[in-house]
Homo-oligomer: A and B are copies of this chain.
């Protein structure tokens, strides 16, 4: 099969690789759409020790079961493979499973390929009227759905639900969409890149500003750098909550003194539970997350150029989705 292989820092090659083999209980899936994530970019730049070259990246994918009794079933893929039996899994917090794996990280190859193999329980059926390119958004949207859910669960009930999302990439945009789907009417995205800000406003119907002024009870840091955490802890209203998604920089930025005096909560969030993933897929299918027509579609064979363009800031769309069969 063909795959886009990460072979070293800033080096991606579209080439033949051995056909993936399905383990017992797994399905072989023909990938039809596979989105590029910020974490793929981290790996591509050599910044992720968990993803050493050579490796097939990619974990935001949808496709069709290739063979067996379920041949032809259209599915979107939850890429987190968890044990299913530990305390975390048993309490519905599979994302905290100590033995969690994710495709695109050893020992599991990723979805920038024509096929992947996945356990049945990781698959969610996609209705016939939903394009697989849209269904492939379930993974990044689930990250933000999970963060938005934790954010709202932590908020004191008698609080006005105004929100700021820092960062207008896919995770930030998806957080804004998830918050709106959960009933938060006033959501602003802070995005310094003018082209992306215009895209968010004109193509995605979002309220976007270069720099937010004021304070709100709900803040999502969808970037994860010291500077964005500093902004988050400055913009959170007294008694407010920050959900933090990114892995940009490991430490620093939070104004702990202010957070203590003003009783601000900071929640580190990572991926999603299996239920969050299913709920997100359903929200995609029934339109609650909007038209989702904002990704840019490209062939996987041109994946190296897509990474290059993303890296240079030349892409206004918050997401590029690659097609292995285009």
Contacts and interface: CB of A to CB of B under 8 A. Distances in A.
Residue with the highest number of chain B CB atoms closer than 10 Å, among A96, A251, A260: A260
A267 interface: yes
Given A91-B158, A96-B239, A251-B255, A270 B265 contact: no
Question: How often does this chain occur in the complex, in copies?
Answer: 2
Interface stretch (A127-135, A204-212, A240-248, A293-301): A240-248
Given A263-B267, A265-B154, A229 B252 contact: no
Contact of A246 (B93, B245, B249, B260): B260
B156 A93 contact: yes
Nearest to A242: B266
A268 interface: yes
Interface in A244-288: 244-247, 249-270
Contact of A268 (B88, B229, B256): B256
Contacts of A249: 256
Contacts of A88: 238-239
B260 A252 contact: no
A22 interface: no
A223 B324 CA distance: 54
A278 to B, nearest CB: 19
Contacts of A98: 238
A193 interface: no
- Interface SS majority for chain A: loop
B265 A261 contact: no
Contacts of A251: 252, 254-257
A63 interface: no
Contact of A91 (B90, B156, B246): B156
A193 to B, nearest CB: 23
A82 interface: no
Given A263-B269, A265-B266, A229 B244 contact: no
Contact of A96 (B95, B238, B255): B238
Interface in A173-229: 224, 229
A249 to B, nearest CB: 8
B156 A154 contact: no
Given A91-B158, A238-B88, A254-B256, A96 B262 contact: yes
Given A229-B256, A244-B259, A256-B268, 18 more contacts: A96-B239, A96-B262, A154-B154, A244-B256, A245-B260, A247-B257, A247-B261, A250-B255, A251-B254, A252-B252, A253-B256, A254-B254, A261-B270, A263-B270, A264-B268, A265-B267, A265-B268, A266-B267
